Amino acid sequence: MADQSIIRITKELSDIQRTCDLSLAVACRDIDVRNVRALIIGPHDTPYEFGFFEFAFKFGKDYPGKSPNVTSVTTNSGRCRFNPNIYASGKVCFTWRGERGEEWSAAQGLESILLSIQSLMSGNPYENEPGFEDANEPSDKTNQKDYVQKIRHETLRISVIQRLEDYLGLMPDGQTVAQQSAADQDEGDDELMDADDLPVAFEPFKDLCKRRFLWYYDSYLDAIQKAKAEVKDHQTFVRMPFEGPSNSMEGRFNYTDLERRMHNIKAAIDAEVDQWARAGLEAKAKDSTVAVNLQHQYEQVVQWFKRRDVPHDLRLEDGNPFVWVLTYFGRPMTNLDGGLFTIKVYFSPQFPEEQPRVRFETKIFHHRVALDGTVCYFPNPMRKEDVQSHLEAVFASIEEEDPAYDPRTIVNLEAHNLYWGGAASRKLYNRRLRRSAQQSVE
């Protein structure tokens, strides 16, 4: 008889992965379903905003009768306590533990745990500490502000910058790990481990975080500029009353350095698509499986466009099936009417494990398009290997006439604020969008 806990865990993982939740992601190795990794993207309007916080779940055979063991992975190697309830050691304190009426229930599950952790990431995390819920003394008000400031800094430094630098092989000074290794070898260090000897790391959120970084890049820079007006570089973090020597958030502010590192990360991610294009031509020459698949999908999509009422032109750049160039014609009777936009879709040689990156080459003022042209769109999670699904989602994102408000889709700050800023602001937004459509053909 199948292990009931395995069945339950597998179903919960599948349920989360089938949704388009933009703030939660889960993954596990195929052979190890009891050990799950989860990513929570910090909520808007909190010091955790758009940070990438990873957690490790270990499910016992008695699950769901007993709750899983949960550990925070994003701790700067055990040196950073991100919340009164998220310790530097990785321990996560839940409200149901030890409180009558709030015990763990088998009706709860992985998603409810993630939402509970996410709820800790509030705009005023100071009050999460027991005994400080209603602290209103002047010193408490000052501490609350100081606590928010240092969490915002470390969210950017640790959960975003360090994570992306690790993914990209970047050093804090902007050098790549390969460059640093070469320098070390030039100095006579012959004891470096060969890359082929290193264990393969489990990094299930690597591609997701890169794509989300492109979404939120301008928000990160905006947060840095606002913080620079509040604190000075090299100013020391204030220790909170509930922080101890081995369970705290210590450090100094240095937003100037964080800004420089942000720019380096953006440049490295942008350079990846050029690497993909070069590798794609090599893959095409070798008739690799991915190259053949993308060529076949390209031909299918060309036929799909021919059957559509609204014409679009599609071609391969330099005959490369890893770089698609789409000419998008604005839909009649919309703010995009008359527009003629060039969109590029870049594919990795590891597609679909690495998802496409879609970018407007023609400037457009749209709340779902970042300043660099990156499109915020949501492909069907069950069809991520289907390029047509991606294009359909792109069109839906830019053509949707009455989208629901969702702060997780903030990729163009000015356009977003105008779109949801009231009737007068919406009119200005519509004028700006129509103007960009007109300029696209000038």
Q: Which domains does the chain have, with CATH numbers?
A: 4-128 (3.10.110.10), 287-439 (3.10.110.10)
In which band, very low, low, confident or very high, does the pLDDT at 162 lie, cut at 50, 70 and 90? Answer: very high
**Location of structure tokens 């594919």:** 347
Residue 43: φ, ψ to 5°: -70, 150
- Judge contact between 354 and 365, C-beta under 8 A: no
Interval 278-306: pLDDT, tens = 999 999 999 999 999 999 999 999 999 98
N residues, the chain:
442
Radius of gyration of the chain (CA): 24
Mean pLDDT (whole number) for 337-356: 97
Q: Extract long-range pairs of 20-29: CB within 8 Å, 24+ residues apart.
A: 20/378, 20/381, 22/378, 22/406, 22/408, 22/409, 23/118, 23/408, 24/111, 24/114, 24/115, 24/118, 25/204, 25/205, 25/208, 26/110, 26/114, 27/204, 27/205, 28/204, 29/202
Instruction: Tell me the whole-structure pTM to 2 decimals.
Output: 0.92
Regarding predicted confidence, which is higher, 220 or 196?
A: 220
With 0-12 / 13-18 / 19 or more C-beta atoms within 10 angstroms meaning exposed / middle / buried, residue 220 is buried
Q: Is 314 exposed, middle or buried (0-12, 13-18, 19+ CB in 10 A)?
A: middle
Residue with tokens 């040196």: 79
- pLDDT, tens digit (0-9, with 9 covering 90-100), for 20-76: 778 999 999 888 899 999 999 999 999 999 999 999 999 999 999 999 999 999 999
Averaged pLDDT, 408-430: 97
Q: CA neighbours within 13 Å on the CB side: how many for 289?
A: 3
**Over pLDDT 70: what percentage of the chain?**
91
d(CA 42, CA 345): 28
Rounded to an integer, what distance in angstroms lies between the CA atom of residue 437 and that of residue 334?
Answer: 10
Predicted confidence (pLDDT) at residue 193 exceeds the cutoff of 50? no
**What pLDDT shows up at residue 105?**
84
What is the pLDDT averaged over residues 348-357? 97
pLDDT at residue 103 in the model: 74
Which is nearest to 168 in space by CA: 261, 236, 290, 283?
261
Between residues 138 and 315, the one the model is more confident about: 315
Please tell me what DSSP assigns to residue 156: I
Contact call for residues 347 and 323 (beta carbons, < 8 A): yes
